[in-house]
Amino acid sequence: MTVKVLNNKQVDHKILRLAYEIYENNAYEAEIYVLGINTNGYNLAKLIVKELKKICDIEPHLSRLKIDPSSPVDNEISLSIDIEQLKDKTIIIVDDVANTGRTIYYSFRPLLDILTKKIEIAVLVDRQHKNFPVKVDYVGLSLATTHQENIDVILKSKQKTVILN
């Protein structure tokens, strides 16, 4: 059974709320680095950065973090930014859905080689199935689901939606 959990308007509202929360917790920062995980995390990060630019003076820098969720140990994790630029910076890691926490957990790997100021996590949907020690700081929607259910996030311009199936 497929259920639409959030429609376009609701997704837009959640993204705006995420941006405000990030701003509120980082209001004294001159800049932050927003790292979107893979395709959907990066697309969500772009939307959050767009809202941040509208509501505050913080300079958000957008980058992509590529990781193989099915095999994060065996494959290289890459950033679209030089890791040295992240030294002593505030970093927000963004993904569309947090399931077990594994992808987010391993996304920290390249950041372990530098000393950052702060790292926070933002997701549109947080599921309650964490197997890894990951705390999500900014959540659009928290869902209690079964392990068999899937969450699909679509972030096209006027067709944003979250579907449970």
Torsions phi, psi of 67, nearest 5? -145, 145
Q: Residue 1: what pLDDT?
A: 80
Torsions phi, psi of 152, nearest 5? -110, 125
Query: Is pLDDT of 68 > 90?
Result: yes
Query: Is pLDDT of 128 > 90?
Result: no
Query: Is pLDDT of 147 > 90?
Result: no
Query: Is pLDDT of 144 > 90?
Result: no
What percent of the chain shows pLDDT beyond 70?
100
Amino acid identity of 3? V
pLDDT band of 96, cuts 50, 70, 90: very high
pLDDT tens by residue, 4-31: 999 999 999 999 999 999 999 999 999 9
Mean pLDDT taken over the chain:
95
Question: What is the arithmetic mean of pLDDT over 86-99?
Answer: 97
Q: Residue 148: what pLDDT?
A: 86
Domains, the chain: 3-164 (3.40.50.2020)
CA dihedral sign, ordered 45, 50, 51, 56: positive
- Record the pTM: 0.95
Query: Is pLDDT of 146 > 90?
Result: no
How many angstroms separate the CA atoms of 122 and 101, rounded? 12
What is the bridge-based pairing of β-strands 151-154 and 161-164?
A: antiparallel
How many angstroms separate the CA atoms of 16 and 5, rounded? 17
